[in-house]
């Protein structure tokens, strides 16, 4: 991955305004659209990264700063966190290319940078507003959920389903209880989101950099993705505290929260592995790409079942080895 192979002439011809626009579009996708937002979040640092690895550091910084100015309309405290995030990721790739760092080093560094940006933002909010960001956010969220119980539209919906008053109250309180659990699974959700963002960002950079003479370490073919057998302990460690009835003790509640977060992390991990297993089976039987998409769309109609069956497929493959992978 030496810099000597870098075709700087092509990068020098890149229009700075166009790259700023690309950064802004990625930012808009991230803010306003759920699934495309992940793609936008992953691709957000790429324009500035391309400029910085080519030696156009000033242009790279300008691209990051101007591209993030849209955040001023949302929350001005997000701006410094987003700018530092983009520039830090750009310099990680620059360092990786100069010193031929591994794929794991790049992705691990960028994963840490994402968490650093979150910590920076929470510190800025706490310092400027003079509040504890976490306790204040939790308090505001719980107040909002409590108000939902008195909302006439929600009460009307539940009353149309349950004619018995006791059933209505029990169902409503159960729903509110589940909603109040949401903030406690944010760590596991963020770990999954950041991991996917880092993966997509690396894939995007790897694909783009090749056009400019830079070869990053290639990702494994999706159909060959695999996990060591001992990762199953992550699922077990998540299920055990959730399935054990702890009562109403504080310790039991903490263990439940840890369990739910582990289930989210390793559940998504095995879900992705399950899709990889399916892809490998499709390859083995030479199923065309169109029919693969049709099959996946069809599975989408049974999403509730697939959420359990696909991770189970990934889990079973660790021992069954449906794809006939060569394992140590």
Per-residue pLDDT of the chain (328 residues; tens, 9 = 90+): 454 555 555 566 678 889 999 999 988 888 877 666 778 888 899 999 999 988 889 999 999 999 999 999 888 999 999 999 999 999 999 999 988 899 999 999 999 999 999 999 999 999 998 888 888 888 888 888 878 767 666 666 656 665 565 666 676 677 777 888 889 999 999 999 999 999 999 999 999 888 888 888 999 999 899 999 899 999 999 999 988 887 777 888 889 999 999 999 999 999 999 999 999 988 888 888 899 888 888 887 877 778 888 999 999 998 888 888 887 6
Residue 99: CB atoms within 10 A of its CB come to 9
pLDDT digits 0-9 by tens, 211-234: 888 888 999 999 899 999 899 999
pTM: 0.85
Residue 130's pLDDT is 85
Tens-digit pLDDT profile for residues 132-176? 888 888 888 888 887 876 766 666 665 666 556 566 667 667 777
pLDDT given for residue 181 in this prediction: 86
Dig out the tokens for 121 from the structure: 């933002």
Which ranges in the chain belong to alpha helices (H)? 8-12, 16-32, 34-43, 46-53, 57-67, 78-99, 103-129, 133-148, 152-161, 165-181, 186-210, 232-243, 250-284, 289-300, 303-320
Structure confidence at residue 185 (pLDDT): 92
- Delimit the domains of the chain by residue range: 3-132+186-210, 225-328
What average pLDDT does the chain have? 86
Determine how many CB atoms are found less than 10 A away from the CB of residue 110. 24
């Amino acid at each position: 991955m030496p810099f000597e192979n870098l075709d700087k002439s092509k990068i020098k011809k890149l229009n700075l305004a166009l790259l700023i626009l690309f950064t802004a579009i990625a930012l808009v996708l991230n803010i306003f659209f759920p699934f495309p937002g992940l793609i936008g979040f992953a691709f957000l640092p790429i324009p500035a990264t391309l400029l910085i690895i080519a030696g156009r550091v000033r242009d790279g910084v300008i691209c990051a700063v101007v591209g993030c100015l849209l955040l001023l309309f949302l929350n001005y405290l997000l701006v410094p966190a987003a700018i530092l995030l983009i520039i830090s990721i750009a310099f990680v790739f620059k360092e990786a290319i100069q010193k031929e760092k591994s794929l794991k080093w790049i992705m691990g560094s960028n994963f840490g940078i994402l968490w650093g940006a979150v910590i920076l933002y929470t510190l800025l909010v706490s310092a400027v507003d003079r509040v504890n960001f976490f306790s204040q956010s939790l308090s505001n969220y719980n107040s909002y959920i409590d108000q939902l119980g008195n909302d006439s539209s929600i009460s009307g919906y539940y009353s149309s389903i349950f004619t018995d008053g006791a059933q209505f109250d029990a169902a409503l309180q159960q729903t509110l209880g589940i909603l109040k659990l949401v903030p406690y699974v944010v760590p596991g959700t963020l770990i999954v989101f950041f991991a996917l963002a880092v993966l997509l960002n690396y894939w995007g950079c790897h694909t783009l950099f090749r056009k400019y003479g830079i070869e990053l370490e290639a990702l494994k073919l999706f159909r060959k993705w695999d996990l060591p057998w001992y990762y199953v302990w992550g699922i077990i460690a998540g299920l055990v505290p959730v399935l054990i009835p702890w009562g109403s003790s504080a310790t039991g509640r903490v263990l439940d929260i840890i369990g739910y977060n582990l289930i989210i992390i390793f559940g998504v991990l095995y879900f992705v592995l399950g899709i990889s297993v399916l892809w490998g089976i499709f390859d083995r039987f030479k199923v065309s790409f169109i029919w693969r998409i049709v099959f996946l769309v069809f599975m989408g109609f049974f999403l509730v079942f697939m959420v359990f069956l696909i991770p189970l497929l990934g889990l079973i493959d660790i021992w069954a080895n449906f794809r006939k992978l060569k394992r140590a």
